[in-house]
Amino acid sequence: MIYLDHNGTTPLIGEVRRAMQPFMYDEFGNPSSKTTLGRKAHEAVEMARAQVASALGARPGEIVFTSGGTESNNSVVLGLGARFKGSKNHIVTTAVEHPAIIEPCLEWMRRGGEVSFVPVDETGRVDADAVMAAVGPETFLVTVMHANNETGTLMPVAEIGRQCREREILFHTDAAQSVGKVHVKVAELFVDFLSVAGHKLYAPKGVGALYVREGIEMPRLMFGAAQESGRRAGTENVIFDVGLGAACEAAARELDRPAPRLREWRDRLQSLLQEQVPGLRLFGHSEYRLPNTLFVGFPEVAGDDVLAAAPEIFASTGAACHSDQVKLSHVLAAMGVSREEGKGAVRLTLGRLTTEGQIGIAAEMLVSAYRDALQIAGKQ
């Protein structure tokens, strides 16, 4: 197996498993309990909160544990919608956001609100001035992802955040794909809210975090007891919170080491493929891109067929092909990619499971699979 789908999900690293293990067995207390077991659980959750905060350059009190990036994003979009209902009704976002932003925005529209989906250029990058041009007197939120999950393209979040701060407009970024891959510091990005997804940075699925800048009113969507400083009711998921904390601490400690290596290996994989696949197309920005992400289009074939011919490689495609019908991802469509160009899209994302020796092997397998797919399609 050569696992090249780290933007899809990541395995639990050793630090995370070891941190979680005691709370899976002997340390089973309820953090709200005053017993010894409860106090230990409470201390573990607060330690995890501090670890997440440290990785983001935030204060522990600004971190809310959630069930993942989707909940974090929904809490911001629909929570703020509830706060501003009756006074402001407009949200600005981009056309290439993750469904965890697009869908709550569409729900906001169904509730009578307005949303501007700002287009991107052919590299999948949005222009900061175009975002701000969409802002009007009714705008209560701007939300722009930090890095796109398909292309890896990095958005000009800091510039957008700076302008939003100057105009006193609340700003959120979905950083699910960037935390753990590049430096993400809330002060440098001028964000009021930032979403984290645990399973994208070697923590468990089903846990995430939401950064809420101190002093910002954040209406709650879940009602019950006073957990998470009254911002999210429900007994804390101690095991997973501890795992996320350990993952964030590991990411902050080791960020400067793997990123240059992954960038080098990614670029080598890209070069090897380009040498053997005439017309291979890069989707995304060549410079402003996550160091681990390579999103390419194999000409004249379907991406599904390429991966089917290379079953040892675990990766993702950017288009669904059924009979003669090609359905592009909304990201490729927003970039102006044609169905013919986009049907061969394959996303290859490196990470901790990747070794240097796998790069050449993966390239050989993909080239061979591409040629097999060409023959099956009658193109060779």
- Please state, for a pLDDT cut of 70, what percent of the chain lies above it: 98
Domain 256-376 has CATH 2.60.120.10: no
List 105, 164, 248, 321, catalytic entry? 321
User: Residue 338 burial by CB count (10 A; 0-12/13-18/19+): exposed, middle or buried?
Assistant: exposed
Is the pLDDT at 322 greater than 60? The verdict is no
**For residue 224, what are its two tokens?**
């019950």
Q: What is the pLDDT of residue 151?
A: 97
Kindly report the three-state secondary structure assignment for every residue of 20-40. Answer: HHHHHCCCCCCCCCCCHHHHH
pLDDT, tens digit (0-9, with 9 covering 90-100), for 214-243: 999 888 778 888 788 878 878 889 999 999
268: left (phi over 0), alpha (psi -120 to 50) or beta: alpha
Sign (positive or negative) of CA dihedral 266, 269, 271, 277: negative
pLDDT, tens digit (0-9, with 9 covering 90-100), for 87-112: 999 999 999 999 999 999 999 999 99
Against a cut of 0.85, is the pTM above it?
Answer: yes
Q: What is the pLDDT of residue 34?
A: 87
pLDDT, tens digit (0-9, with 9 covering 90-100), for 203-214: 999 999 999 999
Q: What is the pLDDT of residue 323?
A: 47
- Please state, for a pLDDT cut of 90, what percent of the chain lies above it: 84
Nearest-10 Cα torsion for 187, 188, 194, 195: -130
Average pLDDT of the chain is 94
Backbone angles phi, psi at 318, to 5 degrees: -115, 10
- Contact indicator for 109, 115 with CB cutoff of 8 Å: yes
- The helix/strand/coil state of 70 is helix
- The helix/strand/coil state of 380 is coil
Mean pLDDT of 241-269: 92
Is the pLDDT at 136 greater than 80? The verdict is yes
What CATH number should be reported for the domain whose range is 14-254?
3.40.640.10
Rg of the chain (C-alpha set): 22
- C-alpha distances in angstroms, 189 versus 58, 62, 155, 357, 380? 12, 15, 11, 36, 49
**How many other CB atoms are there within 10 angstroms of residue 189's CB atom?**
24
Closest among 151, 177, 174, 157 to 337, alpha carbons compared: 151
Where do the domains of the chain lie? 14-254, 256-376
Is the pLDDT at 291 greater than 80? The verdict is yes
Q: Which of 20-34, 156-170, 264-278, 317-331 has the least mean pLDDT? A: 317-331
Decide if 321 is catalytic: yes
Mean pLDDT of 9-14: 96
Is the pLDDT at 325 greater than 80? The verdict is no
**For residue 67, what are its two tokens?**
């069930």
pLDDT, tens digit (0-9, with 9 covering 90-100), for 361-380: 999 999 999 999 988 877 66
Is the pLDDT at 324 greater than 80? The verdict is no
